[in-house]
A and B are shown apart, each in its own frame.
Chain A
């Protein structure tokens, strides 16, 4: 079966800057797919090329097996939820949601019913006659969602849709987005610079750096086995071990990334000795920075907060060990983080 979205040899240049470099990507039907990367990494450009707002310098975009590279945005079976929502300020909430149906020539009564249903699905029933500026950020977000899904797109493109919301609301909207995607059963392509969001929501994640996908995989693959130092530090936090330090831990002598929660302190079978340099209390856990003896390197460990019994403090001597299965060897050709 053809993938929902197939990008081949996609290249985009703005003047002298290369925004997207030779990208090949297949996104499956019904998949929640995230494009994760820092700003300027090309992820939004890829989304805009899929939507049709930008023309690729070279390469092709196919939606469900149909080449749409030359089609205008209004001729593509995808809809977009914009970063700043882009609601029409001169139209009421219901008129915003009806917009796509209206330009498609759907009869007034039918489009009203569909728009009301879409509003109800984002829990905004009763807000029909408000104007966008009378709504809170979270409510505008929902209107933007309703406006896009009311057209039953074959794929929904979301450009950092939660970026403008505060933390509580963002977490709530994450859950709702996931539920919405499941109930609609359509492909979601989600652009974000927030690694938590990408890991929480996605079936698969593409990590972008400098116009390229540097890693593509399930959240677990990307988090547990980052391929290079950039990914290891951008997606979650890691300690990067130089080859000689990795060797001290009994790991292969290549650069390796270790997640702090996979570092064990004072394991029965010993490990590398060190001195605690810093203990940071974060509430649910303690973040412990250890100076390793003899190698001039530091490593960070994470221990759950289980009460006063195992409280550690600066200057304590500990041994540090790493489960070889939890260490991620990095590719040497990768750009430095």
Chain B
């Protein structure tokens, strides 16, 4: 399609504005993290790596980073196991209420975080009568982490159909051998992508986290929220925000590459 000169210029301008709105604030956060002004005054009077040094020696921030990583890893691991099992069940078997189960599995990602948060908070404290802790946070994160794993695995299983599994069974392999030798190798990259997405989701989640983390359990986003309005901490928060952004984006990028590579392999 050919666009007129005016249309091209207008569209280009709109694109630039939108991209600027998204990325300029991010750039500002980065600049703040190396600005010599403690109160984040604009424009930055000069540049320094002092805040980065301080952030890397801040026990609170490092502990929060550790908590986020551990929570993300365990929640993703739970999601990988449960999401794969659910995807296998829903793509390979016919049973009553299948569509409903499908919807119920995917729903948590669409539910407002505040609803999930309140619901889980109530369920843990009132219904189950347990104290919020690290594990309640992990369970809460797993509810929406499952969705990305499930979606990826389900899409792959549906695209490939049952022919390879049938061939395997025809050649004498039972259900588990077939899963181990045929289904899993085929699913591996989809699971990787799903797991990475799940980790990225968990890593920057704050709403559900607020309602389900026990006292003293501070994830990186929680730590930022708690320290954001302390004047002396502002530049350190900017440093942590930059780290958070990078750690979240890298898995996403890898996941996207994995998916693209497989789409190629499947179409071959």
User: Which residues of A does B touch, CB under 8 Å?
Assistant: 51-53, 72-74, 79-80, 82, 84, 86-90, 99-100, 103-104, 133, 147-148, 151
Chain B min CB distance to A261 (Å): 41
Instruction: Give the complex CA separation of A84 and B167 in angstroms.
Output: 11
| B166→A73 contact, CB < 8 A | yes
Q: Which of A51, A99, A133 contacts B168 (CB 8 A)?
A: A99
Q: Measured between C-beta atoms, what is the minimum distance from A288 to chain B in Å?
A: 46
B186 shortest CB reach to chain A, Å: 7
Separation of A272 and B111 alpha carbons in the complex (Å): 82
- A80/B167 in contact, CB under 8 A: yes
Pick the contact of A103: B163, B173, B185, B268 (CB < 8 A). Answer: B173
Also in contact, A80 and B170, with CB within 8 A (given A103-B177, A133-B268): yes
Q: Are B166 and A53 in contact (CB under 8 A)?
A: yes
Tell me the nearest residue of chain B to A76, going by C-beta.
B170
Query: How long is the Cα–Cα vector from A73 to B181 in the complex, in angstroms?
Result: 17
CB distance from A181 to the nearest CB of B (A): 19
- The digit string for B190-223, where 1 denotes a CB below 8 A from any CB of A, is 0000000000000000000000000000000000
Listed from nearest, the 9 A-B pairs whose CB atoms lie closest are: A100-B171, A86-B167, A103-B173, A73-B169, A86-B163, A80-B170, A90-B185, A74-B172, A74-B169
CB of B64, distance to nearest CB on chain A (Å): 40
The residue of chain A having its C-beta at the shortest distance from the C-beta of B169 within the complex is A73
Known: A90-B186, A133-B268. A103 touches B166 (CB 8 A): no
A82 to B168, CA, bound (A): 11
How many chain B residues touch A (CB < 8 A): the figure is 18
Task: Please state if A82 and B163 are interface contacts (CB–CB under 8 Å).
Answer: yes
Hey, which chain B residues are within 8 Å of A148, CB to CB? 170-171
19 A-B contact pairs sorted by A residue (CB < 8 Å): A51-B170, A53-B166, A53-B170, A73-B169, A74-B169, A74-B172, A74-B174, A79-B170, A80-B167, A82-B163, A87-B167, A99-B173, A100-B172, A103-B168, A103-B172, A103-B173, A103-B177, A147-B171, A148-B171
On whether A79 and B171 interact (CB within 8 A), knowing A88-B182, A89-B265, A90-B185, the answer reads yes
Closest to B188 in A: A90
Q: Does B107 contact A (CB under 8 A)?
A: no
Distance to closest chain A CB from B2 (angstroms): 38
Chain B residue at minimum C-beta to C-beta distance from A86: B167
CB distance from A84 to the nearest CB of B (A): 7
Name the interface residues of B104-121: CB closer than 8 Å to any CB of A.
none
Please, which residues of chain B bring their CB within 8 A of the CB of A88? Answer: 164, 167-168, 182
Chain B residues in 8 Å Cβ range of A103: 168, 171-174, 177, 181
Q: Could you say which residues of chain B place their CB within 8 Å of the CB of A86?
A: 163-164, 166-167
Contacts of B169 in A (CB 8 A): 52-53, 72-74
Task: Please indicate the chain A residues that have their CB under 8 angstroms from the CB of B170 in the complex.
Answer: 51-53, 73-74, 79-80, 148
Q: A74-B173, A88-B168, A99-B173 are in contact. List 5 more A-B contacts (CB 8 A).
A: A74-B171, A86-B166, A88-B182, A90-B185, A100-B171
B263 smallest CB distance to A (angstroms): 14
On chain B, the residues within 8 Å of A84 by CB distance are 163
**Residue numbers in B under 8 Å from A100 (CB-CB):** 171-173
In the complex, A84 Cα to B166 Cα: how many Å? 12
Separation of A88 and B166 alpha carbons in the complex (Å)? 11
Which residues of chain B in 242-268 are interfacial with respect to chain A, using CB atoms and an 8 Å cutoff? Answer: 265, 268
Q: Which residues of B contact A51 (CB under 8 A)?
A: 170
A74: shortest Cβ distance to chain B, in Å? 5
A151 to B167, CA, bound (A): 13
Q: Find chain B residues with CB under 8 A from A89 CB.
A: 164, 186, 265
Residue of A nearest to B173 (CB): A103
A78's closest neighbor in chain B, by CB?
A: B170
Give the chain B neighbours of A147 by CB distance below 8 A.
171
Residue of A nearest to B174 (CB): A74
Name the CB-closest residue of A to B180.
A103
**Closest residue of chain A to B185, judged by CB?**
A90
Per-position contact with A for B229-247: 1 when CB-CB < 8 Å, else 0? 0000000000000000000
Q: Which of B170, B173, B181, B182 has the most CB of A within 10 A?
A: B170
